[in-house]
Amino acid sequence: MPADFNWAVGGEAGDGIDSTGKIFAQALSRSGRHVFTSKDFASRIRGGYTAYKIRTSVDKVQSVVDRLDVLIALTPRTIEENLDELHDGSVIIYDGDRTTMQNVEIPGEMVGLDVPLKRLAEEAGGAIMRNVVALGAACEVAEFPIENLDSALEKRFADKGQKLVDNNKEAARAGQSYVAEEYDHEFDYELETTDNDYVLLNGDEAIGMGAIAAGCRFYSGYPITPATDVMTYLTGRIEQYGGHVVQAEDELSAINMALGAARGGARAMTATSGPGIDLMTETFGLIATSETPLVICNVMRSGPSTGMPTKQEQGDLNHMLYGGHGEIPRFVLAPTTVAECFWKTVEAFNLAEKYQIPVYLTGDLAMAVTEETFPPEAFDMDAVEIDRGFVVDESTIDDHLTESGGFKPHEITDDGISPRALPGTADGAHMSTGLEHDEQGRRTEDTDMRVEQVDKRNRKVETAQEREDWSPREFGEADAENLVISWGSNEGALVEALDLLADDGTDVRVLSVPYLFPRPDLSEAVAAAENVIVVECNNTGQFADIVEHDVLERVDRINKYTGVRFKADELADDIKETLEASQ
C-alpha cells in the first residue's frame, strides 16, 4: 500500500462540492502525484449530503480506502457521514461562522480548524470562493505547495478572465495564511511533488475519448445517470472530428438513430444505464439479425427499476448476456480500469465492424465518476488501430452478387462474416431486416435457409473466439493456491488488496476479466487453485454462476450491493475471512 493521503470535501448538493474536489484533484495531478477519486452523491440538485474524496500518493493509487486524513466539512452531516473513516490524527476544516456549524463538535482526538471561509472569501472578492479558501487551508495542513493549486485554478477559470483567477488565488492564500497564523500546530502530513506528467480523467470521459479515437462519428443518447457524462464529453468535441451528437427523445429513439447511422456506414454509439438498457433491448435483436455493427455502452448503476440511481452495482450482467427475446449473438466487454475504458471502446468498435454484431461496452458508476491519474502514454493515439472489417466497394462487389445481380449482405460464408456494402455503393442496394431472411436480406421462412442464417450468425462468434484475444488480466502470484476472479471495475481495489494480503502472508492470484462474452476459459486456473473466490458488486453472484457453469466447480463468492464500490482494505479483509471460512 503506498504512503497515501486521503482528503475529502463534503456538504449539501449545490455547495459546489464537485468542482471544489475536482480543482484539488487537478492540483495534485499537476504536482506529479497520483490521484484516485470517489464521489458520494445523491439524485438531487440541492440539499442532502454529497462529498468528493481524493486518495493521493506519489505511487499509483487505484482504490479508495477506509481512512480520511483531512476533511473539509461544510455541514455537520459531512462529519457524521464520515465518522468511520476519520481517525485521531484527522483534521477537520470548517467555518464556525456558518449558522449550522456554530455548535459543531469535533470528535475524539481529531483536530478541528475553525476557518472563517466565507469572511475570508468576501475579503478576496466574493463569498462564492469560500471553498477555495478551504482548499488553501488544506494546502497548509498537508504542506502542499500552493502553486499547484494556482495552476489548477488557472485551468478551471481561465476562460472567465484573469481577474477571477487572481481573486481565487488570493482566496486560497487567505485560507493558507489563516491556518498558518492562527494554529500553532504540527500536522502530520507533507505532500511531496514530482516532475511526472499525469492526465486526470474518469471512465465516462475515457469512453468518450476512445469513441472519437476509434472513428465514432455519431452518438445519440438520452440523459441518464451515470452515463450522461459520455454524451456531455462528446458534445462540442466530436464535432471537431466531423461527428455529431443527438439528444434523442428517449432511449428507444437513441438506439434506433445509432442503428440508422451505422446502416449508413458510420461508426455509431449510444450510452445509457439500466432503465435505458431495458428500452434499448427492444432493438437489440434487430441489430444482431440485420448484422449491424453497433456499440452500446451500459454504465451500470444500482437496480432494479429506479434502484439507487447514484450508487454502484454490477447487476446487469445477466441482462447483457441474455437480454432480448430469441437467441441473440453479441459481444460483451467490461473494461476494468479508467484507462481500459479507452482501449476497450476502441476495441468494441473494431469488433462490432469486423463481426457486424452489437457490442455491449459495460462500465459502472464507480468507474464512470472516478477521476484517476495516468501517464499520458496510457492513451497513445498512435497505437489506435482501426479495422472496418469486410466492406465491399465497386471493384469487389461483383463477387458477392447473385446471378440476377442482387447483393448478398448475408452471404453464407465459412467464417460467418458476410460482405458489407455501404449506401452509395453501386449495385449494393439491399434490404436489412429483423425478419429471418435469405442471403439478400429478403424475408424467408424456408426451413433450410433459416438454419443456415442462424448458424452463420453464430459462426461469427465462433470465428471471433478463435481469432481474437479474450484473455483475462492477471495480477499477483501466478502459482498461488488462492485464486480471486473479478470483472469490471473491482480490479484496482483487488490489486491493492493483493499487497495487503501479501504483507499478511497470504498469496493470491487475481484474474480480472474484461471479456464477458466471449470470455476466457478459466477451467485450468480454477483447477490449479485450492480456493477460488469470485468478487462482484451484486447480490446473487451473476459472474460466479457463470464461472461455475463454465468450469463445473463450485466457487466462493464475495458480493457487495450496498451501493458503494469495494475498498482495498475492506476487500483484503473479506478475502481473508472467506479463505478462513473455507479451510
Partner 1 sequence: MSSEIRFTDFKSDKQPTWCPGCGDFGTMNGMMKGLAETGNDPDNTFVVAGIGCSGKIGTYMHSYALHGVHGRALPVGTGVKLARPDIEVMVAGGDGDGYSIGAGHFVHAVRRNVDMTYVVMDNRIYGLTKGQASPTSRPDFETSTSPEGPKQPPVNPHALALASGATFIAQSFSSDALRHQEIIQEAIEHDGFGFVNVYSPCVTFNDVDTYDYFRDSLVDLAETDHDRTDYEAAKEVILDSDKEYQGILYQDEESVPYHEQHGVDEDMSVIPDGAPEGATDLVREFY
- Between residue 371 and residue 430, which ones bind partner 1 under the rule CB under 8 A? 376, 379, 381-382, 384-386, 404, 406, 422-430
Q: Does 450 bind partner 1 (CB under 8 A)?
A: no
| Distance in Å, CB of 514 to partner 1, minimum | 21
**CA angle in degrees (0–180, nearest 5) for 66-71-76:** 105
Site string for partner 1, 143-172 (x = CB under 8 A): ------------------------------
Question: In this structure, what DSSP letter does residue 437 have?
Answer: B
Among 94, 218, 222, 515, binds partner 1 (CB under 8 A): 218
Q: Does 83 bind partner 1 (CB under 8 A)?
A: no
Q: Rounded distance, CA 132 to CA 73, Å? A: 13
- Reported as half-sphere exposure (CB side, CA atoms, 13 A), residue 90 has a value of 26
Please name the helix (run of DSSP H) or strand (run of DSSP E) that holds residue 53, with its range, or none: strand 47-57
> Which residues, numbered 463-492, are part of the site for partner 1 (CB under 8 A)?
none
* Cell numbers 479474450: residue: 470
Question: Are residues 174 and 123 in contact, defined by beta-carbon separation less than 8 angstroms?
Answer: yes
Stretch that binds partner 1, among 86-94, 196-204, 359-367, 464-472 (CB under 8 A): 196-204
Question: Are residues 197 and 368 in contact, defined by beta-carbon separation less than 8 angstroms?
Answer: no
Among 433, 463, 540, 578, binds partner 1 (CB under 8 A): 433
Question: Are residues 294 and 257 in contact, defined by beta-carbon separation less than 8 angstroms?
Answer: no
Using the minimum distance from each CB to partner 1, give the nearer residue, 293 or 329.
293
Q: Does 528 bind partner 1 (CB under 8 A)?
A: no
Among 6, 148, 220, 337, binds partner 1 (CB under 8 A): 220
Q: How many CB atoms sit inside 10 A of residue 240's CB? A: 8
Strand partners, 272: 298
**CA angle in degrees (0–180, nearest 5) for 233-235-239:** 120
Nearest one of 334, 326, 389 to 360, comparing CA atoms: 334
| Distance in Å, CB of 29 to partner 1, minimum | 8
> Which residues, numbered 226-245, are part of the site for partner 1 (CB under 8 A)?
237, 239-244
Q: Rounded distance, CA 107 to CA 96, Å? A: 15
Using the minimum distance from each CB to partner 1, give the nearer residue, 29 or 314.
29
First to last CA, the chain: 27
Q: Do strands 267-272 and 216-221 pair parallel, antiparallel, or not at all (unpaired)?
A: parallel
Using the minimum distance from each CB to partner 1, give the nearer residue, 112 or 285.
285
Q: Which grid coordinates belong to 301? A: 448503476
Q: Does 281 bind partner 1 (CB under 8 A)?
A: no
| Distance in Å, CB of 293 to partner 1, minimum | 12
Binding footprint of partner 1, residue count (CB under 8 A)? 72
| Distance in Å, CB of 225 to partner 1, minimum | 22
Among 76, 260, 307, 389, binds partner 1 (CB under 8 A): 260
Using the minimum distance from each CB to partner 1, give the nearer residue, 253 or 273.
253
Q: Does 253 bind partner 1 (CB under 8 A)?
A: yes
Q: Which pairs count as long-range contacts for 91-98, CB under 8 Å and 24+ apart, including other chains? A: 91/141, 91/187, 93/134, 93/137, 93/138, 93/141, 95/130, 95/134, 98/74
**416-455 burial, b if ≥16 CB within 10 A, otherwise e?**
bbbbbbeeebeebebebeeeebbbbbeebeeeebeebbee
Question: Are residues 529 and 508 in contact, defined by beta-carbon separation less than 8 angstroms?
Answer: no
Q: Which grid coordinates belong to 354? A: 469486423
Question: In this structure, what DSSP letter does residue 420 have?
Answer: B
| Distance in Å, CB of 131 to partner 1, minimum | 22
Q: Does 257 bind partner 1 (CB under 8 A)?
A: yes
Three-state secondary-structure class, residue 370:
coil
Among 22, 98, 217, 567, binds partner 1 (CB under 8 A): 217
Q: Which grid coordinates belong to 247? A: 439528444
| Distance in Å, CB of 352 to partner 1, minimum | 13
| Distance in Å, CB of 228 to partner 1, minimum | 19
Among 65, 92, 132, 268, binds partner 1 (CB under 8 A): 268
Among 318, 432, 463, 578, binds partner 1 (CB under 8 A): 432
| Distance in Å, CB of 247 to partner 1, minimum | 10
Among 123, 154, 166, 282, binds partner 1 (CB under 8 A): 282
> Which residues, numbered 14-73, are part of the site for partner 1 (CB under 8 A)?
29-30
| Distance in Å, CB of 302 to partner 1, minimum | 27
Among 28, 137, 146, 261, binds partner 1 (CB under 8 A): 261
> Which residues, numbered 292-321, are part of the site for partner 1 (CB under 8 A)?
none
Q: Does 443 bind partner 1 (CB under 8 A)?
A: yes
> Which residues, numbered 330-369, are part of the site for partner 1 (CB under 8 A)?
none
Q: How many CB atoms sit inside 10 A of residue 45's CB? A: 8
Question: Are residues 251 and 272 in contact, defined by beta-carbon separation less than 8 angstroms?
Answer: yes
| Distance in Å, CB of 386 to partner 1, minimum | 5
Question: Are residues 486 and 556 in contact, defined by beta-carbon separation less than 8 angstroms?
Answer: no
Q: Rounded distance, CA 314 to CA 490, Å? A: 10
Q: Rounded distance, CA 51 to CA 72, Å? A: 10
Among 59, 143, 182, 249, binds partner 1 (CB under 8 A): 249
